[in-house]
Structure 1
Amino acid sequence: MIEIRTRVAVFASGAGTNFEAMMTSRDRNFDVVMLVCDKPKAHVIGKAAGFGVETVVLDPNTFSSKEEYEEDILKRLKRANVQWIVLSGYMRIVGKTLLNGYGDKIINVHPSLLPSFPGKDAVGQALEAGVKVSGVTIHYVDEGVDTGPIIAQEPVTVFPNDTRETLQERIQQVEHVLYTRVIADITKQ
């Protein structure tokens, strides 16, 4: 019997640590068939090449509008028969074009326990607020910034001597395991 695996596109803008964790996880029961990146010099591009994943690098500034940029991406996703979009350090707000094309099939990972500390620099926000617990949230993407329905959360203790780097590292360790597990669970439904 042939196993049909869900086809996933990962959207990323940076180092690609979550991308790499997904690709090397034994829990992965889905196929990452495309990387979409908006930063031509992002490290994730080299990681995708190393895994033989098709990479689409598009600079949003070369398009006349956000809609045109997303329409180009949408055409590529449909051509590759992508079923789910997984945001992984993608530093752009997803617009109506992609939301209309993929509806409830777009998820994101965020380095806090939402609704606390949405948006950029969640780790810095947590440290400034002096909280004792931060964490990781996996959520569906909607029109807002980190406002979609929550799928899973896991706490991470904030220690008194934490820096942005030490807390970010511990949060990423949790992300690497939790995100792949959640993707595997929701894509098999």
Structure 2
Amino acid sequence: MKIAIFASGNGSNFEIFAQMFEKHQLPGELTLLFCDHPNANVVARARRHQVPVETFTVKECGTKVQYEEKILKILLSQKIDFIILAGYLRVIGNKILQHFEGRIVNLHPAYLPEYPGLHSIERAFTDKKEETGVTVHYVDAGLDSGPIIAQCRVPILKDDTVSELEKRIHEREHQLYPQVVKKILQDLQQKEGNEK
């Protein structure tokens, strides 16, 4: 199985996945990083791990449709089987969704359906909630609305700052996401083995 990771920022989740693929702790091969911000830190991380990188913006492509078509062409040429979103801050378009139905997962820093979209941590903090969470879900055409695979709660402490809360959420993400992805990839590998 060939795996692509999509990311937009720092790449802390990418780093964990890259290390796990290198140590053969996950089925398949990390074949590609796609990033929509050419100067993002995740691009440097990928190069350090010798993972091939494709990076370009919507603006470079002209339109969102052309952007999606260019990504899809790359995914098909690389024979990608599965996509992991790891801090990718764009909605996946219909053409990619149709080609990879049930094979794109996302991590969201909230207990969905609470706080879909951007700035989830800050919004939960500002609303003075007692807890927020982390969700792993399949990607569909909506905004963080796909079928939920796994979730866990993260308490918001009385003396928390946003950065402290964010740090604890990332710690839970780094535990939950690789476990869930490992199980999905193992199940896919087994299913494909049974079909052969």
| Same fold by TM-score greater than 0.5 | yes
Query: Counterpart of 2:151 in structure 1: which amino acid?
Result: Q
Show CA shifts across 1:118-162 (max 9, x none).
Answer: 100000111112111111100011111110000000111110111
TM-score, L = length of structure 1: 0.93
Is the Cα contact below 8 Å between 1:18 and 1:88 reproduced in 2? Answer: yes
Q: Within 5 Å, which residues of 2 pair with 1:43-54?
A: 43-54=41-52
Q: Which residue of 1 aligns with 2:64?
A: 66
Q: 1:17 aligns with which of 12, 17, 31?
A: 12
Identify the residue that residue 35 of structure 2 maps to in structure 1.
Answer: 37
The CA deviation string for residues 5-57 of structure 1, in whole angstroms up to 9 with x for no partner, is x2210000000000001122364233211000000110000000011101000
Aligned 8 A contact 2:26 2:185 in 1? no
Deviation of 1:116 after TM superposition, in Å, equals 0.4
Q: Any runs of at least 4 consecutive aligned residues in structure 1 with deviations exceeding 6 A, and if so which? A: none
In 2, Cα distance between equivalents of 1:50 and 1:157: 35
TM score, norm. by length of structure 2: 0.90
Q: Which amino acid aligns with 2:79?
A: N
Structure 2: any 5+ residue segments left out of the alignment?
A: 188-196
Instruction: Name which structure has the greater RCO, CA cutoff 8 Å, separation 6+.
Output: 1
Greater per-residue helix proportion: 2
Note the residue ranges of structure 1 that are not aligned, 5 or more in a row.
1-5
Taking the aligned partners of 2:42 and 2:76, their CA distance within structure 1 comes to 22
> Helix, strand or coil: the match of 1:138?
strand
- Report the secondary structure of 1:188's partner residue: helix
**Would you say the 8 A contact 1:108–1:138 is kept in 2?**
yes
- 1:175 is aligned to 173
Identical residues among aligned pairs (%): 37
Q: How does 1:35-184 map to 2 (within 5 A)?
A: 35-184=33-182
Distance 1:167 1:30, change over 3 A: farther
**Coordinate RMSD, CA, aligned:** 1.1
